[in-house]
Chains A and B, each alone.
Chain A
C-alpha cells in the first residue's frame, strides 16, 4: 500500500531529527559523566565526539554480527522462532563428495551419493571424476566467485598500472584523461549492469561488432552470459571496464608522489628503464598497489548488482553475495543464509590476512624504513 509521498517522507524525517538530537544528548551525557569521574577534559571531549560511531558500531556491527553467528546455528524462516540446530547448516554446506568416473558416459548422479548433485565434472581419458555437494548451488557460487576475484583483481591492477604509467609520461591534458578514465567507476552499477547485459545479449553490440570474425572462423554467435564457458570471461570484462580506470587514477597519484631524486640517483648508477621501473617505481608504488589489492579483493568477492541484473544458467551458478541474499530474502532461510554469510566473512578475512602477511615481504613503507634505520 502506498502511503503517499507526505506520509512516507515526513515520519522518517521526524525520526531522523529525533535520532540526531538523541545522539547529541548521548554525547553530552558521556562527556559529563567522564568529567564527574575526574577524566581530563581533553580525553572526555574526544570520547564524547566518537560516540556516534561507537553507538552505531555496537548496534549495527557488534550486535548484528553476534546475532548472525547465532542465527547460523539455527533454522529460522521468520514465521516460527529460531530453532537451535547446532552445526547442521554448516554440515549441510560441507557435505561434499569426490567420486571417480569409470567411463565417459556414466551419469554423475550414478556415482554420487543420494541427494548429492554435480558441481564439477572432469573427464580424463576414459574416466575422470565428479565433485558433488548437497548444497550444489553454494559450491557452484564459490566456483564462480573465487576464480572471478582471483582473475579480475590482478588483471585490473596490471591494466591500471599500464594506464597509470602512460598518464605519467608528461602527457598533455592530464586532467582530461584522468576525468575520462575514472568515469566508469562513478556510473551507477545498476545502470552499467543493465548496459552490459544489453551489450552482451544475442543481438547486442559485441556480437554485432564481432560477427564478421564469427563468420570468418565459422563460429556460432556466442550467448555470453548464458554460455557456461563464456559467462566468467564476460563478467571479468564487465569488472575490468568498471575498475581499471579508477585504479589507474589511484596508482597515478602514487607515481606522482615518487621523489625525482630517486630516479636521478638511479640514472647516475647507470640504471636502464627496466631497472628503474623494477627497483624504484614498483617498491615506491607498492603501498598503493597493496591498497588496491585489498579493497579490490574485498569488493570482487561481494559483487551484487551485476548478479542481480544479469541472470546466469543454473550450471554457472550465481555470485555468492546474491546467492546469500536470495537464500535469506527470497527463500526465507535466515539460518542457512547466515551460515553462508559467515563462510564468506571467513574467506574475506583469510584472504585479507594473507595479503597483509605477504605485504611484509613486498610492500615498502618509506616512513617505517627510515624509523628502523
Chain B
C-alpha cells in the first residue's frame, strides 16, 4: 500500500524535525486507514480462501486440526470426483443435467422478471392515471410480507394445478413482476428521462409499443444491465423456491443438489473437500459475473438505497 504520492517529497523534508507535522499526522492517519481496510479485507477473504483451499484437499488433509491454507498435494480432481460421487447415489444427477436445470430456471426467471418489471415501471413512471400512487405504495409495501406467509397457500395452488415437481412455479410467475424492488429501481430510472423525447416521438405518430421498444428500452439499458446482474444472482442462488416445489433429485438445481449431497454424507466425517468444491462451483459463475459487471451491480444497489 506504499504507493508514491505527491506528498512524498514533503514527507522526506519533514523527517528532520521531531514534532509531528501536519503531513506526518496525515501519514499516521493513512497507515491506520489502510491497516483497518486490510484487516477488513482479511476478514472478508479468509473464509472464501478457506473454501477454495478445502476444495483442493485430500480427505486426510481435512481434519488435521492445523491451519493450512495451501493444500499439499492439491487435488483439483475433487471438482470432477464430486460429480462422480453424486451420480453414484443418483445416476441422473450429472454435472450437465444439474447445471442445465440451474440455468433453465435462472434464465427464464431472469428474463420474465426484467421484462415485466420494465413494463410495469414504465406504466408507473411515464403515465398519469388515477390510483397510480396508491397502487405503487401497495406494491412497495409487499416487500414486508414474509415469503413464508404466501408459501403454504402457494404450494396448495400449484398442487391443485398438478404442477408440483415441475419448473413452472419457479419460472413463469416471474412474468408477473414478482420483484417489487426491480420495478422500483426501473421506475426511478424512467423518471430521469426527459419527457421531450416521448413527445417528439408521439408527434411523429409512434404508438406506445414503438416508443417503449425503440426509445425507452435503449435508454434504460444501464439499469436493465444492473438488474440483470442482480436477478441472475438472485435466481441462481435461490434455494427456498426449489426446495418447496421440486422433489425429484434429477430436476434439482445446484443449491438443492448441494443439500442432497450434504444429506447423503455421514454426519461424523462429512467430505468437506467435495462439498467445498461444489460450493466453489456454485459461487464461480456469480463471482465471474460480479467482477465483469461490478459497476452495474453496485450502481443498481445504490440507486435503490440512496435515492429511495
Contact = CB atoms under 8 A, between A and B. Distances in A.
B153 A68 contact: yes
Interface in B125-175: 126-132, 135, 138-139, 142-157, 159, 166-168, 171-173, 175
A203 B57 CA distance: 15
Interface in A1-58: 1-3, 5, 8-9, 11-13, 15-16, 19-20, 23, 27, 40, 42-50, 52-57
Contact of A241 (B44, B144, B282, B308): B44
Contacts of A57: 138-139, 142, 176
Contacts of A245: 40, 44
Nearest to A210: B67
Contact of B149 (A65, A178, A198, A304): A65
A67 interface: yes
B149 A334 contact: no
Contacts of B82: none
A67 B159 CA distance: 14
Contacts of B151: 325, 328, 341
B282 A188 contact: yes
A27 B64 CA distance: 63
Contact of B123 (A2, A49, A167, A207): A49
Given A61-B145, A195-B50, A13 B108 contact: yes
A344 B41 CA distance: 36
Nearest to A207: B65
B178 interface: yes
B251 A8 contact: yes
Interface stretch (A109-117, A146-154, A227-235, A249-257): A249-257
A318 interface: no
Contacts of B262: 194, 309
Interface stretch (A87-95, A98-106, A125-133, A179-187): A179-187
Interface string A327-354: 0110000100110011011001100100
A260 interface: no
Interface in A259-301: 287-288, 291-292, 295, 298, 301
A12 B168 contact: yes
Contacts of A54: 135
The dominant DSSP class at the A interface is: helix
A308 B240 CA distance: 10
Interface of A: 1-3, 5, 8-9, 11-13, 15-16, 19-20, 23, 27, 40, 42-50, 52-57, 59-61, 63-65, 67-68, 71, 78, 162-163, 166-167, 169, 171-172, 175, 177-184, 186-192, 194-196, 198-199, 203, 205, 207-209, 211, 241, 245-246, 249-250, 253-254, 257, 287-288, 291-292, 295, 298, 301-302, 304-305, 308-309, 321, 324-325, 328-329, 334, 337-338, 341-342, 344-345, 348-349, 352
20 contacts: A5-B97, A12-B166, A45-B208, A56-B176, A60-B173, A63-B153, A65-B145, A167-B37, A178-B298, A181-B41, A188-B255, A188-B283, A189-B239, A191-B51, A195-B279, A209-B67, A245-B40, A246-B301, A298-B144, A325-B151
